Amino acid sequence: MSSSGGSHGDKVLRSEQIQPISYSIRNELSDLDELRELEYGIASLLGKFDIKGASIAVAKDGRLVYARGIGYADSEKFELVEPKHMFRIASISKLITATAIMRMAEEGMLDIEDRVFGRDGILNDSIYLEYADSRVENITIRNLLNHSAGWNRRFGDQMFMPHTIARDLNIETPVDVTDIVRFALNKRLHYNPGARTSYSNLGYAILGEVIAKISGMGYEEYVREAILHPLGIQDMRIGGNLEEERFENEVRYYEQDNAIMVNSFFDIDSIVPKSYGGNDIRTLGAAGGWIASPAELLRLIVAIDGNSRVPDILSAESIELMTNSHLSGGHTIGWTASDGRGNWWRTGTFAGTSALVMRQNNGLTWAVFFNSSTYRGTALSREINREVQTSLNRIGEWPDHDLFYYLESLPFLYPDIAELR
């Protein structure tokens, strides 16, 4: 993809106008009668599935009109969820990674048809030049973006088999992304690149390596500096693995009753909860490692949603490519799916967390995060979607304020404060 030049770059650098929202908005700012039914609906899901806490944010035509926590961020400490609380968002991370890649393409830093492996590929470091299948030289960035690079999960997901990889490579755990990619390259591809699609966490982990190589920075550092910070998003980051590694405003994660303990990714002889040590969040990184609050995630989503009411950080061409599977090669890019009618969604599920972000064709964008997992798995996302859309579609008139610009909204939210300004 060729660079689009500076046609919309001047619309991006607005950070001096955007107040960081991580700590500035609170539950009481969304104490709105119009959205009471939504709160009751989310609360009912918490009870139905024994979920400790949830956080939801809603934007209307690019304005953050609602951000509220329900239940407990930490039930042991009776700490209630507030909009500032961050949650693991699992595979919603792929949407962040895809956005960064598309931005790099527009700036001419790469082309999505660039090849990734081989001596002429982006990742041509010596550690990646030994591979069992020459077809890997045909893998392009597009293939990684749309899950058509040639890997499937028939024999397991490479991102979740650290001890198998360590034995195969004769190395100690924990393994890192480099080790995982080397392991995959040592095996034959399951199909020709581009021949079909098969959901691949590995592909997005590799995209993280591409971003790091092209930018000359760490993956997380580049995304935060080039994508998030210019939008006023301060808190989104790659999460930690262990309970003691939680950030100050990060929720505690809970698994369902009688959840099976698993081998630690670090030490096969250690048995741990899957949510704290079973999955290597930091290594998942570009494929599933980000943590965020719903409000901050929506600040990114409204900047890539194609809605003209808020300037986008990507061109209309890039957004169409990401959301139209016919154009992208069989699978949406970054998003889980789109329905062809302007509705796009992205799900994320891990032990201890479940997340869903939805862009509707009526100007509504919303995100719901839970800090507990259930045996329903991805089926929970369908129930969340049904509950939230039912409630939101009944609202006839939306508030005029915009919590993305909290300080500017103060006179509206608290009329008496106008005299103090």
pLDDT (tens place) for every residue of the chain, 421 residues total:
433 333 333 333 334 444 456 677 899 989 988 889 999 999 998 998 899 999 999 999 999 999 999 999 999 999 999 999 999 999 999 999 999 999 999 999 999 999 999 999 999 999 999 999 999 999 999 999 999 999 998 889 999 999 999 999 999 999 999 999 999 999 999 999 999 999 999 999 999 999 999 999 999 999 999 999 999 898 999 999 999 999 989 999 999 888 899 999 999 899 999 999 999 999 999 999 999 999 999 999 999 999 988 999 999 999 999 999 999 998 999 999 999 999 999 999 999 999 999 999 999 999 999 999 887 766 777 888 888 988 898 898 898 889 988 644 444 444 443 333 2
Place of tokens 């250690």: 270
Fold of 9-84+245-255+285-413: Beta-lactamase (3.40.710)
8 A C-beta contact, residue 42 and residue 81: no
Residue 226 tokens read as 């080039």
Three-state secondary structure call for residue 356: strand
Helices 177-185 and 162-169 cross at an angle (nearest 10°) of 70
Q: Could you tell me the residue ranges of all domains in the chain?
A: 9-84+245-255+285-413
Secondary-structure percent of the chain, ordered helix, strand, coil, rounded to 5: 40, 15, 45
And the tokens for 43?
A: 């609360």
**Bridging pattern class, strands 271-272 and 364-370:** unpaired
Q: Evaluate whether 227 touches 13 at the Cβ level (below 8 Å).
A: no
- As a whole number of angstroms, the distance between CA 220 and CA 139 comes to 23
pLDDT of residue 196: 96
Tell me the C-alpha distance between 349 and 151, whole Å: 21
Distance (Å, rounded) from C-alpha 254 to C-alpha 135?
A: 42
pTM of the shown model: 0.91
CA-to-CA separations, 13 to 17, 55, 182, 247, in angstroms, rounded: 9, 28, 39, 28
- What angle do helix axes 93-106 and 316-323 make, rounded to 10 degrees? 140
For 261, the 3-state DSSP assignment is coil
Provide the token pair at 168. 């195969």
